[in-house]
Amino acid sequence: MLLDGEGWAVDPKVTKQPYFNLRQGEMTAINGIVVHQTASPTLQSTLNSYQSANPNGAHFLIDKDGTLYQTASIRWLLWHVGKLRSRCLVRKVCTPKELKALNPGTWNPSGVHKIESRKKFPDRFPMNADSIGIEIVGNVIDESKDAVFETVTVAQNRSLQWLVAELCRLLSIPAAEIYRHPEISYKKPHEAETAQW
C-alpha cells in the first residue's frame, strides 16, 4: 500500500469512499491507531450514520466479508475516540501530583479527559487529534452494561492485520500504540475484543 499526497491509500485492497462530513479539522501528527466496532449490523447502516450532521466515524471501515473501505483521509481529524482515560492511571505510573488532580476515587470522565487532553503524547493516549480510527462492522448483541459485540470474522481480522501492518510500516506507528477503543476511552468494555492485528 502507498499513501498519496492527500492521505488516501493507493492499493487494490482498499476502496476509496470519502465521507467529507466526517472531517472535523486537520490532523498534523499520527501517534496511534484505535480499533472500533460499529455497534450496527451492516456496512450500509454505518455508512448511513456517516451522512448525518457532525457524525462520529473512522478513517477505515471493514465489512463482514473483509472488504476494506477508506472513508476519510488520514490527514483529517475525526471524532472517533471520545473522552480519554488517564494513561498514567491505566498504567499505574501517576505521580502524586497527577493522582491528586485526577482524583481516581471519583467518576469524572469529562474532568479526566480535560486533564489528559492538555498533555503531550506519549504522556497521554492517542486521541482524535493524532490517531487513525478503524471501524469493524459488528453489532452489539445485547444492550447491557457489559454488552457483548458480534465476533469479528476471520475475513475482517485478515483485512485488519494487513491494514494495521501497512499503516505501521508507512507511518512508523509502534505496535504498543494500537488500541481497542475501550482501552483508552469510556466505551463498552467488550468492543473489538475479538479483533486481532
Alpha helices for 126-191 (secondary structure H) = 154-171, 181-184
What is the structure's pLDDT at 105?
84
Tell me the pairing of strands 9-10 and 32-37.
unpaired
* Residue whose C-alpha cell is 470519502: 18
Of the candidates 129, 116, 92, the one whose C-alpha atom is nearest the C-alpha of residue 184 is 116
Structure-model confidence comparison of residues 105 and 173, the more confident one: 173
Query: Per-residue confidence at 143, pLDDT binned at 50, 70, 90?
Result: confident
Domains of the chain and CATH, by start? 2-83+127-184 (3.40.80.10), 85-124 (no CATH)
What is the structure's pLDDT at 147?
84
Question: For the segment 15-57, what is each residue's pLDDT rounded down to a tens digit?
Answer: 999 999 999 999 999 999 999 999 999 999 999 999 988 899 9
Question: For the segment 62-80, what is each residue's pLDDT rounded down to a tens digit?
Answer: 999 999 999 999 999 999 9
Of the candidates 89, 138, 133, the one whose C-alpha atom is nearest the C-alpha of residue 112 is 89
What values do phi and psi take at 159, rounded to 5? -65, -40
Question: For the segment 80-107, what is each residue's pLDDT rounded down to a tens digit?
Answer: 999 999 999 999 999 999 999 998 888 9
**Cis previous bond, 122, omega within 30:** yes
Quote the pTM value. Answer: 0.96
176, 74 in Cβ contact below 8 A?
no
